[in-house]
Amino acid sequence: MSWAVWLLIVLGTLLLVLLSALASPLRLRGDVDERGGAGAFEWLGIGVDVDGRRREVDVRLFGRRLLRRPMRRPATKGDEEATDEARLEPSTRDTPGPGRLPMRSWRTLAPTGLREARTLLRRIHVDRLRLDGVVASDDPALTGAVYGYGRALVSVIRGVWPHADLRWDADFVATVPRGRAELALRVRPIGLLGSAWRMGFAILRERRRNRRSR
């Protein structure tokens, strides 16, 4: 056989392997609260467990542990002071950084995000979903906006998964959000490609529009 035939065979084999991998189920689970969070994912026999409370990461292959590693150390007091000083810089406080979109752009993208979220939710098999969240921030307008978008998303989720246990509230007095969430789901990555492409294209288009308006 000629080299062109061999090339087609190799490319076809690689494509089949890639499609098989994307069609394999990806399993995710996690929970988060005020004390920290923990999560895990498993795909193609590879599993990773991340425990933010014990600050450990485990890597498994077909159920057997390969390694356990500590996570990065917590931020020290000096790091927090440096971060506070950086927040006082006018360039980071008043204007979005490089590659970051202003709030008006995210408001424009919100309908597209909700539409694609509905598509994604139908392709995800949820084994367990619990949420008890309270939105809060030092900006009442931001708190109200996040609460409104969250309520819309909660309505969509309840429509797709009626068994989900969801509570979503807002606190306009407190400045720090609080709550707890638990999630366990299964999804085939190949079913997410279309929505990821459309959402990525919408963000790219909004970036270009934002640059032209400057």
Task: For residue range 77-112, list pLDDT tens digits in order.
Answer: 555 555 555 555 544 444 445 556 666 777 777 787
Q: Determine the Cα–Cα distance for residues 102 and 88; give it in Å rounded to an integer.
A: 18
pTM for the whole structure: 0.53
pLDDT given at position 160: 79
What pLDDT is attached to residue 201? 81
**Strands ordered across the beta sheet of 178-187:** 64-70, 56-61, 46-51, 36-43, 26-33, 178-187, 124-135, 165-170
Per-residue pLDDT of the chain (214 residues; tens, 9 = 90+): 677 777 787 788 887 777 777 778 888 888 888 788 888 888 888 889 888 888 889 998 888 888 888 877 655 555 555 555 555 554 444 444 555 666 677 777 778 777 878 777 778 888 888 999 999 988 888 889 999 989 988 888 888 788 889 999 999 988 888 889 998 888 888 777 877 888 888 888 878 887 776 6
